[in-house]
């Protein structure tokens, strides 16, 4: 798995230095200390919000799901499109939009009136 994470850091390097942290049996990928991607069971999921979720949905990409208390839960991360793994520029575009979604989420946490 560590080789795969190093590969992903290279894929998204068009954004800049990408760090990774282990979490919940997977990894989080970070740029500028904000998590923009989640890696679980070898699948990459990118952060989404109201501004960019439609881009994932238009491609038929699914949300990340996990089980909690016997219920299936979804969070705001969608599967990354396959074609970005062959194109660092495209990968950087998707990663940047996901990082921006993470930034908006942080700003909203700090100021609940933000974006309302």
Contacts of 99 (CB under 8 A, 6+ apart): 15, 31, 32, 34, 36, 47
Residue 5: per-residue pLDDT: 94
- CB atoms under 10 Å from CB of 14, counted, come to 16
Of residues 8, 42, 50, 3, the one with CA closest to residue 25: 42
Domains held by the chain: number: 1
Give the 3-state secondary structure percentages of the chain, helix then strand then coil, rounded to 5: 40, 35, 25
| 14-28, 70-84, 102-116, range with the lowest pLDDT | 102-116
Q: Is 91 contained in some domain?
A: yes
pLDDT value at residue 1: 60
Asked whether residue 110 is domain-assigned, the answer is: no
Residue 116 lies in a domain: no
Range of the domain at 94: 2-100
User: What pLDDT shows up at residue 110?
Assistant: 73
Question: Which CATH number fits the domain that encloses residue 31?
Answer: 3.30.1460.30
Please report whether residue 111 resides in a domain.
no
Predicted pLDDT of residue 20: 96
**Taking 70 as the threshold, does the pLDDT of residue 113 lie above it?**
no
| pLDDT tens digits for range 2-61 | 899 999 999 999 999 999 999 988 999 999 999 999 999 999 999 999 999 999 999 999
């Amino acid at each position: 798995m560590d080789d795969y994470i190093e590969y992903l850091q290279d894929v998204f390097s068009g954004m800049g230095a990408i760090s990774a942290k282990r979490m919940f049996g997977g990894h989080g990928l970070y740029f500028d200390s904000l998590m923009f991607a989640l890696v679980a069971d070898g699948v990459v999921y990118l952060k989404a919000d109201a501004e960019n979720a439609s881009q994932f949905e238009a491609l038929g990409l699914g949300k990340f799901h996990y089980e909690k208390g016997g219920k299936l839960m979804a969070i705001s991360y969608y599967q990354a499109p396959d074609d970005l793994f062959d194109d660092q520029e495209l990968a950087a575009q998707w990663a940047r939009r996901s990082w921006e979604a993470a930034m908006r989420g942080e700003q909203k946490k700090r100021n609940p009136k933000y974006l309302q």
